[in-house]
Amino acid sequence: MAAQSNAPVIIKKVKKVVGGGHHGGAWKVAYADFVTAMMAFFLLMWLLNATTEKQRKGIADYFSPTVPVSRVSGGGDGNFGGDSVFTEETLSHNGVGGMPTPPTKTDGDETADIEAENQSLQRLDEMLTGRSGESMVSEMAQRHIITKVTDAGLVIELFDLPGEPLFSSNGVVPTPVMTELAGMMARIFMLVKNGVAITGHVSAQPVVIADNSIWPLSSGRAQTARQLLEASGLHPSRTKRVTGHADRKPAASNPMAIRNNRIELVLLRSDN
């Protein structure tokens, strides 16, 4: 009895497992959402395969919140104004309700316009330089002209020659040569309708000069050139900009060379 009374007491705990923990209803909801999403996905794939590009665009416009449901008056019933997304055999009624559709320029039309403008600028270039056998500029004045066709348009430089300046020394008063050149340029410019940009350039002045006037001098000469062109018949609305660049873009390596004294006229392209 004593041995049995000293034996340890063993307590056995029985853990009851309640069944049905994994048999609840939450997974059914998730599975139903998954099946619905898959069905919608396969319907979308079928719809994309069964419709044309035009029909798909109509569907996209219909569900887009940024455009009206029916942008044109087609004369047909239904949401798509007469178009059917299920067949390509049905004649759709997708008119514009009697309103004429404005013509749009194609890439071919734009290319043709660019080519025509290039040819026009090239002809003017040949008229100025005499490469076509006929020049609108006298031989004496032609020595003051350099032309080139660039992306900006037809660039015409009128520059000083030794002993034959275009303006008075350090002033904006035009010489007879400049007046003659401006009159010729105005007559040539009136053959086209392009806008005109005028830029004045001057040679650098010695650093010892206390009052360096290259900025007002270049812009003043550009303004004088504009006035001469308009006085010779160029309409003021054709002038798009008049600027002075001082000595910042020299044409000669020597910044003080008289070749840097020039007026740059640009017949601008239509997109500039």
Same domain, 132 and 48: no
Show which of 99, 121, 155 is a domain's final residue: 99
Same domain, 212 and 165: yes
In which band, very low, low, confident or very high, does the pLDDT at 96 lie, cut at 50, 70 and 90?
very low
CATH code of the domain containing 144: 3.30.1330.60
Q: How many domains does the chain have?
A: 2
Does residue 63 fall inside a structural domain? yes
In which band, very low, low, confident or very high, does the pLDDT at 271 lie, cut at 50, 70 and 90?
confident
Same domain, 69 and 193: no
Does residue 137 fall inside a structural domain? yes
Same domain, 40 and 91: yes
Show which of 99, 125, 160 is a domain's final residue: 99
Same domain, 175 and 245: yes
Residue 266 or 133, more confident: 266
Same domain, 176 and 218: yes
Residue-wise pLDDT for 257-266, tens only, equals 999 999 999 9
In which band, very low, low, confident or very high, does the pLDDT at 52 lie, cut at 50, 70 and 90?
confident
Residue-wise pLDDT for 173-206, tens only, equals 999 999 999 999 999 999 999 999 999 999 998 8
Same domain, 76 and 205: no
Does residue 66 fall inside a structural domain? yes
Same domain, 218 and 112: yes
The share of the chain scoring above pLDDT 90, in percent, equals 44
Does residue 12 fall inside a structural domain? no
- Contacting residues for 141 by C-beta, under 8 A, at least 6 apart: 177, 180, 181, 184
Rounded to an integer, what distance in angstroms lies between the CA atom of residue 121 and that of residue 4? 124
Does residue 158 fall inside a structural domain? yes
The reported pLDDT for the residue numbered 8 is 73
Show which of 51, 82, 99 is a domain's final residue: 99
Same domain, 166 and 249: yes
Same domain, 259 and 157: yes
Does residue 9 fall inside a structural domain? no
Does residue 123 fall inside a structural domain? yes
Does residue 10 fall inside a structural domain? no
The reported pLDDT for the residue numbered 69 is 46
Same domain, 242 and 164: yes
Domain extent at residue 49: 24-99
Three-class SS string for the chain?
A: CHHHHCCCCCCCCCCCCCCCHHHCCHHHHHHHHHHHHHHHHHHHHHHHHHCCHHHHHHHHHHHCCCCCCCCCCCECCCCCCCCCCCCCCCCCCECCCCCCCCCCCCHHHHHHHHHHHHHHHHHHHHHHHCCCCCCCCCHHHHCCEEEEECCCEEEEEEECECCECCECCCCCCECHHHHHHHHHHHHHHCCCCCCEEEEEECCCCCCCCCCCCHHHHHHHHHHHHHHHHHHCCCCHHHEEEEEECCCCCCCCCCCCCHHHCEEEEEEECCCC
Would the pTM of this model clear 0.75, i.e. be above it? no
Same domain, 123 and 254: yes
